Structure 1
């Protein structure tokens, strides 16, 4: 079972920052999950929320701010004073840090409240520029975004992310017309039957977000492929 650091090692450092990604590497994570959005000037940056309100000392929507404006904000102090001055990372900076490391990179494409036209292409361009396309899995709750990405790059590894308990999940997967590499269900909904059927179809199962050691051991026993967690040391 692979340990995938959710927004980096976000138990130990501010989520979705270079500090959190470095901590995940130091702690031996098998993969790193991160969230990508586009700035007003169309630069892919790493942030989960549509706004900077929760994770920085600023306020506003990312899609209304330029990279220069975002870089002036502090994304570390809300977590701990020792991370004061931590800035929002670009995808380019992030891939420079983690791209040559022996890990899987899980890039979640974030949309809303606007649907940017160029997010998928901008992300793919950077992934190929860094030569890490073989180790990236793309996921999103916006499955149309994954379709757009696949139309640009049919070889992209697609992770179908969902937070609802779908009826006839695998019928839905087949009807998407996408070649699904992995499914990423909320851990509440994963069952042994779901895991077995996914594996019969050569689909990996990566569940989110588990931060309890006992739960992690149960899911490990069920045979999941990846555990998305804030704590890469959860089983150590």
Structure 2
């Protein structure tokens, strides 16, 4: 068996290891520390979350509201970027991380430039407006000369379409989440199930690992698209996914996945 190694082919012969919000089981999520730990581990990609601020700039933060990881209780979109970047975003995890702040999107690009690929999830809440920030995001990626170092994922099809219109060269991934029986087939109701596999402006479909099956992978492959899974943290699903030809797994435990793949 071949050990896990990098390949230049479009459909990689191995499963990519994608560190969820950085190495978030070893450092506070979406911080410089978590990203640096993932880089040091040698993952294939780091996944981060990006939100717009009141002044339509961008920060790296998962939740719509402060409080779980960063100090405060305001909605992220009600504060300016400069004020958000002053907040403690690490003490909740441990005293060693008390100096970690909320990163700007530009800072995350600077950390990863020429070192690590980034999978960027655009976070948008019901009633939020991200459109004015689309060009800001694209301009930042281009200014850092990182077009070939990033991919962008979102549940929101309209945002993906806008990104494609502004910069057709971006690698876009469609996030979906399958539901339980008798509920919607997947999260975004604006796309029919037929278009899900055939839309040309995105390269990959990213889906919860729980709903990935061999027939689904085969259907996606027939449409010349890639498939990534989130967020698998236990060995049993990691092992199952490694046997059915997915392109990558997003995980909070990248070292566990790396060890598993090294044994194949």
Task: Please tell me the TM-score bracket, short chain as reference.
Answer: over 0.9
Q: Which of 164, 180, 195 matches 1:172?
A: 195
- What's the counterpart of residue 108 of structure 1? 121
Q: For 1:169 and 1:39, how far apart are their aligned partners in 2?
A: 31
- What's the counterpart of residue 41 of structure 2? 27
Moved more, 38-47 or 87-96: 38-47
Q: Are the aligned partners of 2:84 and 2:102 in contact in 1 as well (CA < 8 Å)? A: yes
Q: For 2:222 and 2:204, how far apart are their aligned partners in 1?
A: 12
Moved more, 165-174 or 152-161: 165-174
Q: Are the aligned partners of 1:6 and 1:228 in contact in 2 as well (CA < 8 Å)? A: yes
In structure 2, list runs of 5 or more residues that go unmatched: 1-14, 180-184, 260-264
Determine if the alignment matches structure 1 residue 156 to structure 2 residue 178. Answer: no
Cα deviations by residue, 1:83-136 (Å, 9 ceiling, x for unpaired): 0121000111111111211x3311111112411332221111111111111121
Structure 2-normalised TM-score? 0.84
- What's the counterpart of residue 234 of structure 2? 212
Determine if the alignment matches structure 1 residue 64 to structure 2 residue 87. Answer: no
SS at match of 2:77: helix
Aligned length: 234
Determine if the alignment matches structure 1 residue 184 to structure 2 residue 206. Answer: yes
Q: Are the aligned partners of 1:147 and 1:178 in contact in 2 as well (CA < 8 Å)? A: no
Q: For 1:71 and 1:146, how far apart are their aligned partners in 2?
A: 26
SS at match of 1:233: helix
Q: Which structure is larger by alpha-carbon Rg, 1 or 2?
A: 2
**Superposition CA RMSD, Å:** 1.7
